[in-house]
A and B are shown apart, each in its own frame.
Chain A
Amino acid sequence: MKRFVEVWNYRSMLWSLILSELRTRYKGSVLGFFWTLVNPILTLIVYSLVYSFVLRINMKNYSAFLFIGLLAWNLFATSLQSSSRVILGQAAMVKKIYFPREILPLSVVGGAVINYLISQVVLIPFLLLSGLHPNVDWTYWPLILLIEVVMTVGFSLLVSILNVYFRDLEHMLNIFLMLWFYVTPIFYAITLIPSPYSFLFRLNPLTTPIMSLQDIFYYEHGVRWKLLLYGSAFALCIFSLGWRVFGLLNRRLAEEV
């Protein structure tokens, strides 16, 4: 509890780090911050072209379906990848200034969330153009996002601190994330999975937010409460695990980086 208060007291630092991370990412490029917006637009165009002309998936509005899941996946995957490097990357600061170190992975997730929110500016018009309608289920969106963010923070806390003591993690993580991507119903609908295995796919924590987003944006039917409940429980568990492990390993951090 004390750590929570401490992190809260340092919220202005968290905000500064998020801002500086967002600003440096495209520093020196001509479009600058607009890349945050241009990136999802270009991705969308590429996928739309590929799946309308090359692969021709037999699914209505396939690029919309794909895009919904992909953006949510990117929030998770980029957070984990950057988190694994963030403590070593800020080694100078870790060694020289005191601050609650949880701030570092939190700032990574914060940046990814802001990017995700900006990409919604592209997603929503695209959904409307594809003929999907705003409906009352969209109000579940903040809840789903919250579940995903809590989950992402938990995993990020874990990988960020573990990578300091075990530096292979960073490289193993990339392979692992690739595998994870394919077992998450992002570019296929979960209905494609034969029913005995479908259960296993639902155990994958990432299935919860991604399927729920597809439920409200694409299928336009309500959320599956059992799934959301499972996802929330998992998110809380991984968060408290991450928080505790971080607090434990944090003590020797300044010497190990």
Chain B
Amino acid sequence: MEPAITVDHVTKTYRVHTGKNTTLKDRVINAGRARYQEFVALSDVSFTVERGTTVALIGSNGSGKSTALKLISRILYPDKGEIHLNGRVSSLLELGAGFHPDFTGVENIFLNASLLGLSRKEIRNKLQSIIEFSEIGDFIHEPIRSYSSGMYMRLAFSIAIAVEPDILLLDEVLAVGDAAFQAKCFSKIQEMQKQGVTIVLVSHDSSMIEKLCDHVVWLHNSVVKMQGPPRECIPVYLETIFESSQAGGSVMKFDRVHQGRSDVSTSGSDVKIGYRKGPIKRANIVGDRGSEVMQGSRVSFDIVLCPERPIVQGLCQLQFCLSDGTVLWATSSKQAETGLIDIPSGEQMTLRLTIDALLLPINSYRVNLLLESALGEFYDRWDACLDFEVVPRQEGQALLELNHVWTVLGGEHK
């Protein structure tokens, strides 16, 4: 079977205008001179995307991922090489492109869905499901200039998936929106994967890529540096990025773990260092056994926050997950005596979560962190920022040991 997308030796060069010579005067004055410099965004890039697979394009900023996505969506044309597509394409490169602020939600659904290639009849049939998925409710009859950015984004995503494409292109659009809607989008994407939709996405979220994607194409300085399954590519990618940050690159550098005030020493081994732009800079387990936690013991997690823009009435959520992403337990810092947190920009704050007795079955777990405001504004999300393992208290014990007592409550007893 033919692949869904074939990118065949594609080169794309941008012209960077050195000064705006687009008016008559400039043309006359600068006639004959080169009015632009060339900038190679992609150089002889080839890859294929098989039908029904999900492929992530990764790479640092400026490596050409977004250009590649725009070429696939036919917004840009390649200078050399060819791109073949098999199937109906829907792309979500920027949310709400083509929305009209003065129109109501419903009117914008008709406008935007028709921009994505749906006929009016198809839109009418899908209208109800679009409105339901977007969770906008009665606001759907209000002009969308009154919408919050979250509502805007929910509406746009709902329309994009309603197109029922064969090929879906996503450019970091899932990084916005509240956690609940993100989860919903996530499961919708998984549903589409099951239906055999081919998906190409650009993302910086390595844990999401590992969960969703079958294949990773890593672009670096306009060429494909590596491609393969996420398990092989992501670690190499993260390592390279971290190295370049140590070599004085543009990636942020983090201090090693700050000594806690508690009597337990902090081990640095379980610190996962990655590329973090968001306010959650670091999370680590406080304890002397690194990422191993003895079942039933006391354990603390330190979360270091350092926002670029101020956090107002913030609350931090922490989740324990299984390796497949199932959430076992979640807590919010709102319940703490500190209540909601305010952090001025550039200031650092450390939150500590302590669990007296960690009664989890023996297994390995992941920690997800989410920072948002009580007013619903989203600040940051870091999935699988931390792994830890619950180890048995004594050898040969069952998966779970619970403190328990057996008592006989009367009855026949000889």
Binding site for B on A (CB under 8 A): 9-10, 12-13, 15-17, 20, 23-24, 27, 92-99, 165-168, 251-252, 254-255
Asked whether A254 and B75 contact (CB < 8 A) given A16-B115, A97-B97, A98-B89, the answer is yes
Q: What 0/1 readout, one digit per residue, does chain B (222-233) give for beta carbons within 8 Å of chain A?
A: 000000000000
With A and B bound together, what is the CA distance between A13 and B15 in angstroms? 30
Can you name the residue of chain B whose Cβ is closest to the Cβ of A95? B75
Q: Are B75 and A92 in contact (CB under 8 A)?
A: no
A28: min CB distance to chain B, Å: 8
Q: Pick the residue among B100, B110, B116 that contacts A97 (CB under 8 A).
A: B116
With A and B bound together, what is the CA distance between A200 and B119 in angstroms? 47
With A and B bound together, what is the CA distance between A17 and B14 in angstroms? 30
Q: Are B75 and A98 in contact (CB under 8 A)?
A: yes
Q: Pick the residue among B91, B97, B103 that contacts A20 (CB under 8 A).
A: B103
24 CB contacts below 8 A, A to B, read A12-B114, A12-B119, A13-B115, A13-B117, A15-B120, A20-B100, A20-B111, A24-B102, A92-B98, A94-B75, A95-B75, A95-B97, A96-B97, A97-B91, A98-B73, A98-B74, A99-B117, A166-B22, A166-B27, A252-B15, A252-B77, A254-B70, A254-B75, A255-B15
Q: Pick the residue among A96, A167, A252, A255 that contacts B98 (CB under 8 A).
A: A96
| Residues in chain A near residue B31, CB distance under 8 A | none
User: What's the tally of chain B residues with a CB closer than 8 Å to chain A?
Assistant: 32
B258: min CB distance to chain A, Å: 43
Flag whether B118 is at the interface (Cβ < 8 A): yes
| Residues in chain A near residue B75, CB distance under 8 A | 94-98, 254
Which chain B residues in 63-120 approach chain A with CB under 8 Å? 70, 73-77, 89, 91, 93-94, 97-98, 100, 102-103, 107, 110-111, 114-120
| Residues in chain B near residue A97, CB distance under 8 A | 75, 91, 93, 97-98, 115-116
Asked whether A167 and B100 contact (CB < 8 A) given A12-B120, A254-B76, A255-B14, the answer is no
Flag whether B18 is at the interface (Cβ < 8 A): no
Q: What 0/1 readout, one digit per residue, does chain B (254-285) give for beta carbons within 8 Å of chain A?
A: 00000000000000000000000000000000
B65: min CB distance to chain A, Å: 16
Binding site for A on B (CB under 8 A): 14-15, 22-24, 27, 70, 73-77, 89, 91, 93-94, 97-98, 100, 102-103, 107, 110-111, 114-120, 123
B114: min CB distance to chain A, Å: 4
| Residues in chain A near residue B76, CB distance under 8 A | 254-255
With A and B bound together, what is the CA distance between A116 and B98 in angstroms? 27
Q: Which of A9, A98, A252 has the most chain B CB atoms inside 10 A of its CB?
A: A98
A160: min CB distance to chain B, Å: 15
Q: Are B77 and A251 in contact (CB under 8 A)?
A: yes
With A and B bound together, what is the CA distance between A12 and B116 in angstroms? 10
Asked whether A96 and B22 contact (CB < 8 A) given A13-B117, A251-B77, A254-B76, the answer is no
B352: min CB distance to chain A, Å: 43
Q: Are A93 and B97 in contact (CB under 8 A)?
A: yes
| Residues in chain B near residue A95, CB distance under 8 A | 75, 97
Q: Are B93 and A96 in contact (CB under 8 A)?
A: yes
Q: Are B115 and A167 in contact (CB under 8 A)?
A: no
| Residues in chain B near residue A166, CB distance under 8 A | 22, 24, 27
Can you name the residue of chain B whose Cβ is closest to the Cβ of A100? B74
Q: Are A96 and B94 in contact (CB under 8 A)?
A: yes
With A and B bound together, what is the CA distance between A16 and B102 in angstroms? 15
A94: min CB distance to chain B, Å: 8
B23: min CB distance to chain A, Å: 5
With A and B bound together, what is the CA distance between A142 and B185 in angstroms? 50
| Residues in chain B near residue A251, CB distance under 8 A | 77
With A and B bound together, what is the CA distance between A15 and B117 in angstroms? 12
A121: min CB distance to chain B, Å: 25
| Residues in chain B near residue A165, CB distance under 8 A | 22
| Residues in chain B near residue A12, CB distance under 8 A | 114, 118-120, 123
**Other than the known A9-B117, A96-B75, A97-B93, what 7 A-B pairs have Cβ atoms closer than 8 Å?**
A12-B123, A20-B111, A95-B97, A96-B97, A98-B74, A167-B23, A255-B15
Asked whether A27 and B118 contact (CB < 8 A) given A96-B94, A255-B14, the answer is no
Can you name the residue of chain A whose Cβ is closest to the Cβ of B169? A98
With A and B bound together, what is the CA distance between A254 and B75 in angstroms? 6
| Residues in chain A near residue B24, CB distance under 8 A | 166, 168
| Residues in chain B near residue A24, CB distance under 8 A | 100, 102
Q: Which of B24, B93, B115, B123 has the most chain A CB atoms inside 10 A of its CB?
A: B115
Asked whether A10 and B117 contact (CB < 8 A) given A96-B93, A168-B24, A255-B76, the answer is yes
